[in-house]
Amino acid sequence: MPRTAFFPRRAATLLTALVLSLMSVLAAGGPVRAAVPLERVTSFGSNPGNLVMYRYVPAGLAAGSPVVVLLHGCGQRAQEYADNAGWRKFADADGFALVVAEQQSANNLSRCFNWFEPGDVARGGGEALSIRQMVDHTLGSLAADPDRVYVTGLSAGGAMTASLLAAYPDVFAGGAVIAGVPHGCASGMLGAFSCMYPGRAETAQSWGDRVRAAYPGYTGRRPAVSLWHGGADHTVATANLAESVKQWTNVLGGDQQPDAISQLPAGTIRSAYHTGAGAPPVIGYLTPGNGHGTPVAPGDGAQQCGNAAAYFLASLCSSYHIAADWGLTD
């Protein structure tokens, strides 16, 4: 049955909008002017999650290039996120494709990815499978590199990023969760509210078990994970950063004691947590003065990107640092 015809769930999205109102990021000041329109892809698979696919392919992109998937926050659009987060600059400069998924109000009235719905984050179904199908379509149509597929997102998109890393560790080489929550924090709408604020505390083992349960028996490589949060985020509590560090260090074989700490622009503290042999580090980024949004740094410098707008916070270019962590920048 098409999800748009599943009336009980559609009716429940009204409650979703109310419960998750703190996550709404409806932009003020009118629509964003697009520098380069994204290409809409209308046929990419069975699309069980009823999502919309857009992509950006730099001119002359070579076969074997990486792919980066972008997931917007609640209330945002794919084009808005691509324009303001600054990823297109690095796609052009460093040679990789962008896949930008967009939520529909038929699925969630606030256009949040449904990270709190078990059927939408489980391997093999829902919105998570739709995103995986977007990746598969892009790999096939562009002859892109299946070993260099990455995903990042803000807020609800960040929470969905965590779940994609849990459910599809064989698809994604790395992910960056911006102002999100640990995978498996909620299994329904009401639980999502408390996960967001004040946050939910669990042991590292408990959090790690939730990731392992997303793909039982998986013994292959795990993706690299970076975790971004603002110290003044009153929408998704900053405590979620520490809980996410617990989760991913446990999965990758490390502890919660940082092994290397450095300072970046806007007072951002970068903490790297070494993990098991052959596993990537978990990297945490805390910008004390930032509230809820994607960190950007407008300008033309090598480490600058993006546009300051509602929920795009002038501080540092997160897209640059994420791409560098993944080895995508020169």
So which residues are the catalytic ones? 155
DSSP result, 263-309? EEGGGEEEEEE--STTPPPEEEEEETT--SSEEEB-SSSTT-B---B
Tokens 């494709």 locate to 97
- Nearest CA to 250 out of 137, 155, 166 is that of 166
How far is the CA of 183 from the CAs of 13, 41, 159, 161, 195, in angstroms? 21, 28, 7, 9, 10
CA nearest neighbour of 98 among 309, 315, 323:
323
Cis upstream peptide for 66 (omega within 30°): no
CB of 44 within 8 A of CB of 129? no
Q: Which among 107, 111, 101 has a CA at the least distance from the CA of 54?
A: 101
CA distance 283 to 102: 27
| Residue 253 burial (CB count, 10 A) | 14
Between CA 302 and CA 286 the distance in angstroms is 21
Among the listed residues 142, 130, 129, 128, the one whose alpha carbon sits nearest the alpha carbon of residue 98: 142
Structure tokens at 141: 């149509």
Q: What radius of gyration, in Å, describes the C-alpha atoms of the chain?
A: 18
